[in-house]
Structure 1
């Protein structure tokens, strides 16, 4: 059934993939982009509106415009994960959208969240969880999708390997694992939440196809695809603790350093926590229980990157 869908976060790589998936499924898609200088980006098959999601006034006048919508799909996320940005975007902006969505007659809200919120130790995770709770109590039908690691977040060392440098490991590289998933597969999953009744009012962890892969195995895969012998350098995880401690202390005097201290804590989190489903009873990550979806593989993604067919699109999330 075709629906009128408002898509948030449409200019990111996952957002653009989701726009394509929604159009492919026959929906009428209105994309929201941040006000910027220059031309409004072209997202084929959609209508693009410029608006400030942090402003209820802008949402009403420039985005919803008193029109009726059937669903909201949000790929919106804070740019860096810093504390101020996280609470402003991951939480408050979504609350504004939720209230405007109710007024517009929206019945289904699909939220792209993150699997790491199941063990919240960071500010942005608490901000995401606060909105998840608000969405679940909103009275709307909701689907909260929590993907594992994205391909692009595992692409930061492709250029190093191309340049003949060693692949960096945290400790021995076997402490964490994930089931990587592509933008297109995440987008397809988000789009089909609108038509699959089994995904209504559920938290939906999702990984890509195939078994879980450790950081060392990612490096071995990348070297194999590049046709180079594996070379590794180990970085101690305690380095993040030192950096976070120093920046945190300096942040008491120099406020901008507080965000940098949080970025170090984010780095430590991803170096020590697996992006897999957490079993709270057994107190461990469970790769077998982490659902798989899609057909795109990390190996094929690495091959495309090495051939220059796709770009490293991590953007500001490269700090992760």
Structure 2
């Protein structure tokens, strides 16, 4: 297992252990010590170094499967190609040498319409995995609960919920960490998920951004208040940072982050119908039992912490 220290990674380890698998996690050491991951053996090393992956991760042992929840932290161009592509190639090489027969990859549904560096990096590795000769399962989830929970505190503070345009530009079928983890674990034993690209969303209908806001206000027991942010706001930022980035290289990543923000403000996290040229909620599979309403309610009650980390936008 790689990518085991994030919230989805830890949930996936729990699911794998619950299903009776012996799990070995290969992670980076933090402050010189290995993080504790319940129910799993933890090994440390450098996932971007093929020699370390083989020496410190696989250790010449035989493994049946690799599950990867590994992803770049920010989506910046350099980080994306280093982790979403090159590091995964290192793991794939080690997996082949270790006799692995099945590789389960957590990807992203947004790679259907690739406009960003991290999407191209993910797609490049998907292609390498499919050509590897291993059995593969590529899971492309819709929005995570945590990625659409950034405005809970705003609502609690009496501030308006921010919309892009009229709030109906995009929709998604958000899925919880635990439900996604259960789906990933099931890929190891369900033949119907072998050698397939698997888009997956959570239970219930697709929700627009406005509907997410209305749900949040309803649960908070306060009247809805919305403020519309024009999508052109991102265009201005992207243009300015693009020019400045030619002089100050670190600003190139900031321009990429702005492009990422614009993408999520204008593109739905649903299955894309290339024939009809539209997103199709009905064609986006649903899985699990955790609802966004339950997640929002727990956040409002203080039972969950905001764990978005690098995913924070607001």
TM-score (normalizing by structure 1): 0.97
User: Structure 2 regions of 5+ residues with no counterpart?
Assistant: none
Structure 1 segments unaligned to the other structure (5+ residues): 1-6
Counterpart of 1:14? 8
1:105-130 CA-partner distances (Å, limit 9, x unpaired)? 10000000000000001010000000
Match of 1:225 among 219, 223, 226: 219
1:263 equivalent in alignment to 2:227: no
Aligned residue for 2:23, secondary structure, equals: strand
Distance 2:136 2:51 in 1: 24
* Cα separation, 2, equivalents of 1:97 and 1:141: 15
Of the three residues 283, 293, 306, the one matched with 1:312 is 306
Match of 2:148 in 1: 154
Equivalenced residue count is: 314
Contact 2:160 2:227 in 1 (8 A): yes
In the alignment, the residues of structure 1 paired with residue 313 and residue 150 of structure 2 have an alpha-carbon distance, to the nearest angstrom, of 10
How far does the alpha carbon of each residue in 1:13-46 deviate from its partner, in whole angstroms, 9 at most, with x for none? 0000000000000000001211220532211111
Indicate if the aligned counterparts of 1:263 and 1:319 stay in contact, CA closer than 8 A.
no
Is 1:28 aligned with 2:4?
Answer: no
| Offset from partner CA, 1:124-145 (integer Å, 9 cap, x none) | 0000000000000000000000
Paired with 1:114 and 1:303, the residues of 2 have a C-alpha distance of: 26
**Partner SS state of residue 264, structure 2:** helix
Aligned residues of 2:28 and 2:34 also touching (Cα < 8 A): no
Moved more, 243-252 or 35-44: 35-44
CA distance in 1, matches of 2:30, 2:54: 19
Relative to structure 2, which stretch is displaced further, 126-135 or 29-38? 29-38
| Equivalent-residue separation in structure 2 for 1:39 and 1:61 (angstroms) | 18
Q: Partners in 2 of 1:138 and 1:18 — Cα distance?
A: 24
**Structure 2 counterpart of 1:103, from 90, 97, 102:** 97
What TM-score, normalized to structure 2? 0.99
Aligned residue among 223, 226, 239 for 1:245? 239
- Residue 26 of structure 2: SS of its match in structure 1? strand
Look up the SS of the partner of 1:28 in the other structure: coil
Displaced runs of 4 or more, over 2 A: none
Q: Which moved further from structure 2: 31-40 or 148-157?
A: 31-40
Residue equivalent to 2:131: 137
CA separation in 1, counterparts of 2:54 and 2:278?
44
Q: CA deviation at 1:58?
A: 1.0
Q: Which residue of 2 aligns with 1:235?
A: 229
Counterpart of 2:49? 55
